[in-house]
């Protein structure tokens, strides 16, 4: 099962979502791999304190002699298997993104669930990965959208990414993140997305200062601070996702 996590705008919380939904499912005993497919600005490694490792996804894209297993690290606190990217400029230049789809196609049989963190916007470099994916999760940051222009701004963002996922026959879901609005307002937003755009919202995550704190600690918030508002919301979204994927 391969899930690709995308977003229209940078900083919406794509990587945070990958880290926490991976953690949730790993804690439910699934064998989960989280892949940093954001090849030019990889940051998944930071969320798991795996930002200074020797072998990375970039090593695999550069050198076919590197065994993918060498670049997969089991995060001790959560049990998530992580395939981090390299943040070093010399590793990012001259890679072949085409090899990514072949690597994922082999790895997907070894894991129950594979999350792929994508570049911001339409992920042109990693588009071939959509061919082997089953689900697309669209992460939308609510906070920056004034409520009266919500429909045009967010619908537009969701519509484009939805069209992309549909083109590849993917199941599509939305995660609303960094929500500061009241519950009433959020319910309306969820309704708009589900009814007008026809995409299920698997959950909404409040803005929570413990999220950056957990990233600094290298442990996703679901595990780092299980009683925090964001952790509770990620767990609820994780349950919906689990039901959605595994019935």
Ligand X SMILES: Nc1ncnc2c1ncn2[C@@H]1O[C@H](COP(=O)(O)OP(=O)(O)O)[C@@H](O)[C@H]1O
Q: Which does 10 bind (CB under 5 to 8 A by kind): Mg ion, ligand X, none?
A: ligand X
Nearer to ligand X, 15 or 145 (CB): 15
Residues 182-211 close enough to bind ligand X by CB under 6 A:
205, 207-208, 211
Residue 15 contacts Mg ion per CB under 5 A: yes
Residue 225 contacts ligand X per CB under 6 A: no
Helix (H) or strand (E) holding 20: helix 14-27
In angstroms, what is the minimal distance from the CB of 109 to ligand X? 27
Query: Do the bridges between strand 81-83 and strand 32-36 make them parallel or antiparallel, or are there none, so unpaired?
Result: parallel
C-alpha 14, offset from chain centre = 5
DSSP at 143: T
Q: Which does 208 bind (CB under 5 to 8 A by kind): Mg ion, ligand X, none?
A: ligand X
Q: Which residues contact 153 (CB under 8 A, 6 or more apart)?
A: 145
Nearer to ligand X, 107 or 215 (CB): 215
Residues 25-44 close enough to bind ligand X by CB under 6 A:
43
Among the listed residues 22, 129, 177, 225, the single contact to ligand X using CB under 6 A: 177
Phi, psi of 174 (to 5 degrees): -120, 140
Residue 56 contacts Mg ion per CB under 5 A: no
Query: Do the bridges between strand 81-83 and strand 113-117 make them parallel or antiparallel, or are there none, so unpaired?
Result: unpaired
Residue 14 contacts ligand X per CB under 6 A: yes
Residue 148, Cβ neighbours under 10 Å: how many? 8
Q: Which residues of this protein are in contact with Mg ion, per CB under 5 A?
A: 14-15, 43
């Amino acid at each position: 099962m391969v899930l690709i996590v995308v977003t229209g705008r940078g900083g919406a919380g794509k990587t945070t979502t990958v880290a926490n939904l991976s953690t949730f499912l790993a804690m439910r005993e699934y064998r989960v791999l989280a892949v940093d497919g954001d090849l030019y600005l990889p940051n998944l490694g930071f969320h798991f304190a795996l930002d200074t490792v020797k072998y990375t996804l970039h090593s695999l894209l550069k050198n076919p002699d590197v065994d993918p297993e060498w670049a997969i690290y089991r995060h001790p606190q959560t049990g998530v298997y992580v395939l981090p990217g390299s943040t070093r400029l010399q590793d990012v230049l001259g890679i072949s993104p085409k090899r990514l789809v072949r690597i994922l196609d082999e790895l997907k049989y070894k894991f129950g669930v594979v999350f792929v963190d994508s570049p911001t916007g339409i992920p042109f470099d990693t588009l071939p990965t959509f061919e082997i994916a089953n689900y697309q999760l669209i992460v939308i940051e609510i906070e920056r959208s004034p409520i009266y222009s919500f429909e045009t701004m967010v619908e537009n963002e969701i519509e484009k990414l939805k069209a992309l996922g549909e083109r590849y026959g993917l199941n599509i879901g939305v995660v609303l993140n960094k929500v500061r609005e009241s519950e009433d307002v959020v319910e309306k937003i969820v309704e708009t997305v589900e009814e007008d755009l026809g995409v299920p919202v698997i959950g909404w995550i409040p803005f929570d200062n413990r999220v950056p704190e957990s990233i600094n600690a290298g442990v996703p918030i679901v595990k780092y601070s299980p009683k925090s508002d964001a952790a509770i919301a990620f767990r609820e979204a994780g349950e919906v996702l689990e039901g959605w994927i595994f019935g």
